[in-house]
């Protein structure tokens, strides 16, 4: 098992280096250096801000894991922080978002927690991250109406669809929190062509383990509501803390924006980026979201390009850190 985990660790590391090199090549060294010079020392708080965000994500995940069991107490906070940073780095550079980071975290936590506890904990932490996004997007809708009273028909339609979709996703998340979702996902997967039979056979062989994972997922909401609420609030607060990044970037180029405007900018660009989740590194999707919201707020579109590039540079920094942390000792 340790040997397989080491192989997986090396695969994630080398794929991460490859994807990072491609991203830097696509952005261009000249563009990166020009933006760094223009932003100057503002990059220090911008990059440092994400250290605080990752710390909040780690505390949120740690609350989920620490259920009083002996194995949970063996998960060191420093190791969990490493997994959070590395997991987000892998998710960022891989297509379909969660195809790399979540399996990586499960593989790393499995020797300590066991496969059922590791899987359920990572799934719950991911759900907290998703639900905080849904709430964040729903909060931004009335904020958009307040800041921009007159909207085009297209924007209004987008608002209605986004609100309805976020609400439905919250209902879906509630079902998983209260009942679990692993067994249901495998039932649906067993109906797929080509792979359905294998999924069905896997479910029949491991039904006890699957039921245990669903129990562990539902246990957080049913029996540990305080940990559930605090974990979710930490993730939600981190969504709003990220908005400070836009404030700092706009301050660096002499066009200050309000916190409300920064929330709107972050909300819409993240919404567009998540709608196109299959794009590795959100190439193109983020820029489109930035252009859209800057146009709505009547801010020059050249600033949207600047902020988008600043975000890319910050992501490159933390992606490098995350990939390097993969090679840190697993013990």
pLDDT above 50 for 278: no
Long-range contacts of 18-21 (CB under 8 A, 24+ apart): 19/93, 19/94, 19/280, 19/281, 20/93, 20/316, 20/319, 20/320, 20/323
Dist. CA 252–CA 313, nearest whole Å: 15
pLDDT tens track for 70-96: 899 999 999 999 999 999 888 877 755
Phi-psi region of 148 (alpha: psi -120 to 50; beta: other; left: phi over 0): beta
pLDDT tens track for 102-124: 888 998 999 899 988 999 999 99
pLDDT tens track for 199-224: 888 888 888 888 888 888 889 999 99
Residue bearing the bigger pLDDT, 288 or 65: 65
Number of Cβ atoms within 10 Å of the Cβ of 260:
14
Q: What is the pLDDT of residue 290?
A: 80
Q: What is the pLDDT of residue 331?
A: 45
Dist. CA 172–CA 57, nearest whole Å: 22
- Lowest-confidence range among 31-35, 54-58, 88-92? 31-35
Residue bearing the bigger pLDDT, 218 or 38: 218
- Lowest-confidence range among 42-46, 106-110, 174-178, 305-309? 305-309
- The pTM assigned to this predicted structure is 0.84
Q: What is the pLDDT of residue 271?
A: 79
Average pLDDT of 64-70? 91
């Amino acid at each position: 098992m340790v040997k397989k985990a080491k192989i997986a660790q090396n695969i994630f590391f080398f794929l991460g280096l490859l994807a990072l090199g491609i991203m830097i090549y696509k952005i261009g060294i000249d563009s990166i250096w020009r933006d760094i010079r223009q932003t100057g020392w503002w990059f220090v708080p911008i990059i440092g801000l994400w250290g605080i965000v990752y710390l909040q994500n780690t505390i949120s995940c740690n609350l989920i894991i620490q259920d009083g069991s002996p194995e949970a107490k063996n998960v060191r906070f420093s190791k969990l922080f490493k997994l959070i940073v590395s997991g987000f780095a892998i998710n960022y550079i891989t297509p379909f978002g969660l195809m790399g980071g979540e399996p990586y975290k499960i593989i790393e936590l499995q020797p300590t927690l066991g496969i059922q506890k590791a899987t359920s904990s990572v799934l719950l932490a991911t759900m907290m991250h998703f639900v905080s996004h849904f709430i964040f997007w729903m909060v931004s809708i009335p904020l958009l109406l307040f800041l921009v009273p007159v909207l085009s028909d297209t924007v209004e339609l987008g608002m209605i669809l986004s609100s309805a979709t976020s609400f439905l996703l919250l209902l879906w998340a509630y079902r998983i929190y209260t009942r679990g979702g692993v067994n249901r996902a495998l039932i649906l997967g067993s109906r797929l062509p080509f792979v359905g039979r294998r999924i069905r056979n896997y479910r029949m062989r491991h039904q006890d383990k699957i039921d245990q994972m669903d129990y562990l997922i539902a246990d957080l909401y049913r029996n540990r509501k305080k940990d559930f609420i605090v974990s979710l609030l930490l993730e939600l607060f981190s969504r709003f803390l990220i908005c400070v990044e836009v404030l700092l970037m706009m301050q660096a180029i002499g066009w200050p924006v309000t916190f409300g405007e920064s929330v709107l900018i972050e909300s819409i660009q993240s919404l567009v980026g998540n709608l196109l989740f299959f794009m590795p590194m959100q190439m193109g999707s983020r820029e489109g979201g930035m252009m859209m919201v800057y146009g709505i707020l009547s801010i020059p579109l050249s600033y949207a390009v600047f902020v988008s590039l600043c975000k890319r540079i910050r992501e490159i920094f933390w992606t490098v850190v995350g990939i390097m942390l993969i090679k840190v000792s697993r013990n």
